C-alpha cells in the first residue's frame, strides 16, 4: 500500500487510521453480520453510531445543550439558502461580510430570499485580507451577520470573531471547523460541509442555537426547516448513513490525537513551516495579509507562472498530489487540513526548495 501526500482542498485527505478501521468493518460491523451501509437508519445499531458521532462532536467543541447539532445533506451550498430561510424572519434582510468566493456565493443565494447588505467587502483588494471589526457596518435592519471564517480558495482566515452588535452571528466554517479551539457560544449558527475537516463528502454539520428554531420563511420546503431536522434527530428522511459513520470515526480519531487544542498546535506548526518557506524564497509568494493567512489552505504562486505546469508535474512525480490552485485564481494551493500530517508538509517544503534550486 502506498498512500501519497494529498493536499486536496476537498474532498480532502482522511486519516489513514480511519480508513483502515472502515475497511476492517466494511463487511461486518462489530459482529452484526452486515455493513453500516446496509443498516436501517432506524436500527438500534445505526442510531448508536449516529448518537456517538454527535456526542463526540459535542465533546470536541464543548457544545452545550442550548444547541442542536444536525447532520444534513446538500453540502454547505444548501446552507447558503437554509440560513436566510431560517434566519431572515420578518426583517427579510441579512448582513454579510464578503471575503472571497464562498462568501460571494452565500450572498448571491441569500438575495433570492430577501435583502443583503454588505457589512464589509475586501473584493477591491482581491480578497487578500479580512476586514477589521472597526470596518464592519452592520445595517440596523439586518436579522443576522454572516461570514466565512476561512476562505478556502483565497486562503484568508479571520483572526477574530466579529461582534454582530446584538444580532445572531452565522458562520460558514466548512474549511476550518475543528482546526483550532473556538467558543461555539459566540455563534447562533455554524455550518460546515464535511469533506474538508470532518469526513467524506455527502454530509453537512449544522450547529444551531435551539432558541432560533421554528421561524422559517413561509412556503418553504420541509427539508429547508432546521426545526424539522432538530425534532427528528436529523432523520426526517434517510440520512447519508455511511458519511455520518465515517465522520464519527474522524471525531474519535481527533479525540485520540488529544482533541482540537492538540491538533491546533500541529496545524500551527504545519502552516508556519510552509509560510516560512514561501517567505524565505524570492521564488514563491503568498499575497494574503500576514494576520489573515489561513492555517488550512495555503495558496502560493511561482514568480514565473510559466513554470506552474512543470511544478505540478514534478510534484506529482514526487508523490505530492493536488497542489493546483483553484481555477478562479490559478497558481498553487496546499490544503493542510487536520488529516494532512506534518511529514507531508515537510515533504512539500523540501520539494519546493529543491524545485527552486533547479529552476529559480
Ligand atoms: C467547500 C466549501 C463550501 C461548499 O461546500 P459544498 O459541500 O461543496 O456545498 C462552502 N463554503 C466553504 C468555506 C467551503 O470551503
Q: Walk along the chain (360 residues) and give the pLDDT tens digit of each residue.
A: 689 999 999 999 999 999 999 999 999 999 999 999 999 999 999 999 999 999 999 999 999 999 999 999 999 999 999 999 999 999 999 999 999 999 999 999 999 999 999 999 999 999 999 999 999 999 999 999 999 999 999 999 999 999 999 999 999 999 999 999 999 999 999 999 999 999 999 999 999 999 999 999 999 999 999 999 999 999 999 999 999 999 999 999 999 999 999 999 999 999 999 999 999 999 999 999 999 999 999 999 999 999 999 999 999 999 999 999 998 888 999 999 999 999 999 999 999 999 999 998
Range of 81's domain? 28-256
| Same domain, residue pair 102 and 199 | yes
Ligand 1 pocket, mutate which of 189, 193, 243 (most atoms under 8 A from CB): 193
* 177 shares its domain with 127: yes
Kindly calculate the radius of gyration of the chain based on its CA atoms and give it in whole angstroms: 21
Any catalytic annotation for residue 172? yes
Catalytic annotation on 102?
yes
Task: For residues 193 and 290, state if they share a domain.
Answer: no
From 8, 9, 10, 200, give the residue whose CB has the most ligand 1 atoms within 8 Å, as the site to mutate.
10
Q: What pLDDT sits at residue 1?
A: 67
Residue 235 burial by Cβ neighbours in a 10 Å radius (0-12, 13-18, 19+):
middle
Residues in CB range of 19: below 8 A, 6 or more apart: none
From 76, 130, 152, 197, mutation site for ligand 1 pocket: most ligand atoms within 8 A of C-beta: 76
Q: Are residues 213 and 267 in the same domain?
A: no
Q: DSSP strand E in 210-321: where?
A: 284-285, 297-302, 320-321
> Which CATH number belongs to the domain containing residue 304 in this structure?
3.90.1150.10
204 Cα nearest atom in ligand 1: 7
CA triplet 172, 7, 288: central angle to 5 degrees? 60
Residues near ligand 1 (Cβ within 6 A): 10, 75-77, 102, 148, 152, 172, 174-175, 193, 196
Element (H, E) at 255: helix 241-256
Domain count for the chain, please give it.
2
Q: Residues 72, 164: one domain?
A: yes
Position 331 scores a pLDDT of 95
**Is 19 part of any domain?**
no
Count Cβ atoms within 10 A of the Cβ of residue 12 and give its class: 0-12 exposed, 13-18 middle, 19 or more buried.
buried
Please choose, from the candidates 117, 61, 114, the residue with its C-alpha nearest in 3D space to the C-alpha of residue 90: 114
Contact 286, 306 (CB under 8 A): no
Q: Which residues contact 251 (CB under 8 A, 6 or more apart)?
A: 53, 56, 57, 60
Closest ligand 1 atom to residue 151 Cα is 13
**Tell me, what's the pLDDT at 339?**
98
- Cross-strand pairs, 334: 298
What is the Å distance from ligand 1's center to 199 Cα? 13
Question: Is 6 part of a structural domain of the chain?
Answer: no
Instruction: Give the DSSP H/E element, type plus range, for residue 347.
Output: helix 342-359
The CA-based dihedral angle spanning residues 219, 220, 221, 227, taken in that order and rounded to the nearest 10 degrees = -110
How many A from CA of 7 to the centre of ligand 1? 16
Q: Is 4 a catalytic residue?
A: no
DSSP 223: G
102 with 247, same domain: the answer is yes
Same-domain pairing of 287 and 349: yes
Q: What pLDDT shows up at residue 328?
A: 85
Measured CA to CA, the distance from residue 221 to residue 223 in angstroms comes to 5
Determine the pLDDT at residue 312: 97
- Atom 8, ligand 1: which residue's CA is nearest? 75
Q: Phi and psi dihedrals of 169, rounded to 5? A: -105, 130
- Give me the catalytic one of 29, 56, 196, 244: 196
Same structural domain, 38 and 166:
yes
pTM, two decimals, is 0.98
Amino acid at each position: 500500500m502506498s498512500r501519497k501526500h494529498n493536499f486536496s482542498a476537498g474532498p480532502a485527505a482522511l486519516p489513514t487510521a480511519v480508513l483502515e478501521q472502515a475497511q476492517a468493518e466494511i463487511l461486518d460491523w462489530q459482529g452484526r453480520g452486515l455493513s453500516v451501509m446496509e443498516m436501517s437508519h432506524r436500527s438500534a445499531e445505526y442510531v448508536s453510531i449516529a448518537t456517538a458521532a454527535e456526542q463526540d462532536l459535542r465533546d470536541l467543541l464543548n457544545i452545550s445543550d442550548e444547541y442542536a447539532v444536525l447532520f444534513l445533506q446538500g453540502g454547505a451550498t444548501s446552507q447558503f439558502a437554509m440560513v436566510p430561510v431560517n434566519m431572515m424572519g420578518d426583517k427579510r434582510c441579512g448582513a454579510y461580510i464578503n471575503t472571497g468566493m464562498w462568501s460571494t456565493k452565500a450572498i448571491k443565494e441569500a438575495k433570492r430570499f430577501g435583502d443583503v447588505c454588505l457589512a464589509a467587502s475586501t473584493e477591491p483588494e482581491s480578497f487578500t485580507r479580512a476586514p477589521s471589526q472597526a470596518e464592519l457596518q452592520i445595517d440596523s435592519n439586518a436579522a443576522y451577520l454572516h461570514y466565512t471564517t476561512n476562505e478556502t480558495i483565497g486562503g484568508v482566515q479571520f483572526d477574530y470573531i466579529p461582534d454582530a452588535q446584538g444580532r445572531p452571528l452565522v458562520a460558514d466554517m466548512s474549511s476550518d471547523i475543528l482546526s483550532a479551539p473556538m467558543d461555539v457560544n459566540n455563534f447562533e449558527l455554524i455550518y460546515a460541509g464535511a469533506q474538508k475537516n470532518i469526513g467524506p463528502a455527502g454530509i453537512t454539520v449544522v450547529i444551531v442555537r435551539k432558541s432560533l428554531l421554528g421561524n422559517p420563511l413561509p412556503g418553504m420546503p420541509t427539508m429547508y426547516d432546521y426545526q424539522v431536522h432538530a425534532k427528528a434527530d436529523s432523520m426526517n428522511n434517510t440520512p447519508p448513513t455511511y458519511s455520518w459513520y465515517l465522520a464519527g470515526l474522524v471525531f474519535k480519531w481527533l479525540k485520540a490525537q488529544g482533541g482540537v487544542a492538540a491538533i491546533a498546535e500541529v496545524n500551527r506548526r504545519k502552516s508556519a513551516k510552509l509560510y516560512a518557506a514561501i517567505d524565505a524564497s524570492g521564488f514563491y509568494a503568498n499575497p494574503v495579509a500576514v494576520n489573515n493567512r489561513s492555517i488550512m489552505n495555503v495558496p502560493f504562486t511561482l514568480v514565473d507562472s510559466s513554470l506552474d505546469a512543470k511544478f505540478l508535474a514534478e510534484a506529482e512525480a514526487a508523490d505530492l498530489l493536488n497542489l493546483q490552485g483553484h481555477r478562479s485564481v490559478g497558481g498553487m494551493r496546499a490544503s493542510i487540513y487536520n488529516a494532512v500530517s506534518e511529514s507531508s508538509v515537510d515533504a512539500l517544503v523540501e520539494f519546493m526548495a529543491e524545485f527552486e534550486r533547479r529552476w529559480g
